[in-house]
Chain A
Amino acid sequence: MGGYTYNELGAIFAMQGFAGISLFSVLLLMALGLAIIFGQMGVINMAHGEFMAVGAYTTYFLSTLTETYFPGFMPYYFLFAIVLAFFVAGALGYFAEYALIRHLYKRPLDTLLATWGLSLIMQQTFRSVFGAREVSPGLPDWLLGSYQPTEMIDIPLNGMFVLALTGLVTFGVFYLMFKSSWGLHVRATTQNRLMSGAVGINTKKVDRYTFALGCGIAGIAGAAFTTIASTGPTTGTLYIVDTFMVVVFGGAASLLGTIASAFSIAQAQSILEFFISGSMAKVFTLLTLVIILMFKPEGLFASKVRR
Chain B
Amino acid sequence: MNSMITKGLPSIKLPALKKALSIAAIASACSMALGLSSTVAMAEVNTTGLAVTDTEVTVGILHSLTGTMAISETGAQEAEKLAIKQINESGGILGRQIKIIQEDGASDWPTFAEKSKKLLVKDKVAAVFGAWTSASRKAVLPVFEKENGLLYYPTFYEGLEQSKNVIYTGQEATQQILDGLNWVAKEKKAKTFYLIGSDYIWPRTSMKIARKHIENVLGGKVVGEEYKPLGNTQFGSVINKIRLKKPDVIYAAVVGGSNVAWFKQLKAAGITADKQTLLTISVTEDEVLGIGGENLEGFYSIMKYFQSQDNENNKAFVAAFKEMWGDDSVIGDVTQAAYLGPWLWKAAVEKAGSFDVDKVVAASEEGDIELTTAPEGYVKLHPNHHLWSKARVGKWNKDGQATVVYTSELIEPDPFPAGYQ
A274 touches B260 (CB 8 A): no
A16 touches B227 (CB 8 A): no
CB within 8 Å for A277 and B226 given contacts A133-B289, A235-B257: yes
- Contact partners of A157 in chain B: CB under 8 A: 268
A270 touches B268 (CB 8 A): no
A12 touches B244 (CB 8 A): yes
B240 touches A133 (CB 8 A): no
A121 sits at the interface (CB 8 A): no
- Contact partners of A230 in chain B: CB under 8 A: 257, 260-261, 264, 290-291
Expressed in whole angstroms, the Cα–Cα distance for A227 and B294 within the complex equals 13
- Contact partners of B70 in chain A: CB under 8 A: 127, 132, 233
A251 sits at the interface (CB 8 A): no
A134 touches B270 (CB 8 A): no
Interface string of A117-139 (1 = CB under 8 A from B): 00000001001000111111010
A232 touches B257 (CB 8 A): yes
A167 sits at the interface (CB 8 A): no
B233 sits at the interface (CB 8 A): yes
- Contact partners of B243 in chain A: CB under 8 A: 12, 15
B205 sits at the interface (CB 8 A): no
A215 sits at the interface (CB 8 A): no
B68 sits at the interface (CB 8 A): yes
* Count of A-B residue pairs with CB < 8 Å: 130
A189 sits at the interface (CB 8 A): no
A302 sits at the interface (CB 8 A): no
- Contact partners of B260 in chain A: CB under 8 A: 134, 136, 229-230
- Contact partners of A282 in chain B: CB under 8 A: 229, 232
A124 touches B228 (CB 8 A): no
Expressed in whole angstroms, the Cα–Cα distance for A70 and B71 within the complex equals 29
Expressed in whole angstroms, the Cα–Cα distance for A228 and B294 within the complex equals 14
- Contact partners of A12 in chain B: CB under 8 A: 240, 243-244
A146 sits at the interface (CB 8 A): yes
Interface string of A11-40 (1 = CB under 8 A from B): 010011011101100100000000000000
A258 sits at the interface (CB 8 A): no
B268 touches A159 (CB 8 A): yes
Tally chain B residues at the interface, Cβ within 8 Å: 42
CB within 8 Å for A278 and B229 given contacts A16-B240, A19-B240, A273-B238: yes
B123 sits at the interface (CB 8 A): no
Closest to B261 in A: A229
B110 sits at the interface (CB 8 A): no
- Contact partners of B269 in chain A: CB under 8 A: 15, 146, 154, 156
A134 touches B241 (CB 8 A): no
CB within 8 Å for A228 and B244 given contacts A133-B289, A135-B289: no
- Contact partners of B397 in chain A: CB under 8 A: none
Tally chain A residues at the interface, Cβ within 8 Å: 50
Q: Which of A77-130 contact B (CB under 8 A)?
A: 124, 127
CB distance from B378 to the nearest CB of A (A): 30
- Contact partners of B270 in chain A: CB under 8 A: 145-146, 148, 154, 156
Interface string of A219-257 (1 = CB under 8 A from B): 000000101111011110110000000000000000000
- Contact partners of B66 in chain A: CB under 8 A: 124, 127, 132
A136 touches B290 (CB 8 A): yes
CB distance from B327 to the nearest CB of A (A): 14
- Contact partners of B261 in chain A: CB under 8 A: 228-230
Expressed in whole angstroms, the Cα–Cα distance for A133 and B256 within the complex equals 10
A146 touches B290 (CB 8 A): no
B290 touches A232 (CB 8 A): yes
Expressed in whole angstroms, the Cα–Cα distance for A154 and B229 within the complex equals 25
A134 touches B71 (CB 8 A): yes
Expressed in whole angstroms, the Cα–Cα distance for A18 and B243 within the complex equals 14
Q: Which 10 A-B pairs have the closest CB atoms?
A: A19-B236, A134-B290, A156-B268, A230-B260, A154-B270, A132-B70, A273-B237, A146-B270, A229-B261, A278-B228
> Could you write out 22 A-B pairs with CB less than 8 Å apart?
A4-B244, A12-B240, A16-B237, A18-B236, A20-B236, A127-B70, A134-B257, A134-B260, A136-B260, A136-B264, A136-B290, A136-B291, A144-B268, A146-B270, A156-B268, A158-B264, A229-B258, A232-B71, A273-B237, A274-B237, A277-B226, A279-B227
* A residues apposed to B, CB below 8 Å: 4, 8, 12, 15-16, 18-20, 22-23, 26, 124, 127, 131-136, 138, 144-146, 148, 154, 156-159, 225, 227-230, 232-235, 237-238, 269-271, 273-274, 277-279, 281-282
* B residues apposed to A, CB below 8 Å: 65-68, 70-71, 74, 199, 225-229, 231-234, 236-241, 243-244, 257-258, 260-261, 264-265, 267-271, 286, 289-292, 294
Other contacts beyond A12-B243, A154-B270: 19, CB < 8 A: A16-B236, A18-B236, A131-B74, A133-B71, A134-B290, A156-B268, A156-B270, A159-B236, A225-B233, A228-B233, A228-B265, A230-B260, A234-B67, A270-B236, A274-B240, A277-B227, A278-B227, A281-B237, A282-B232
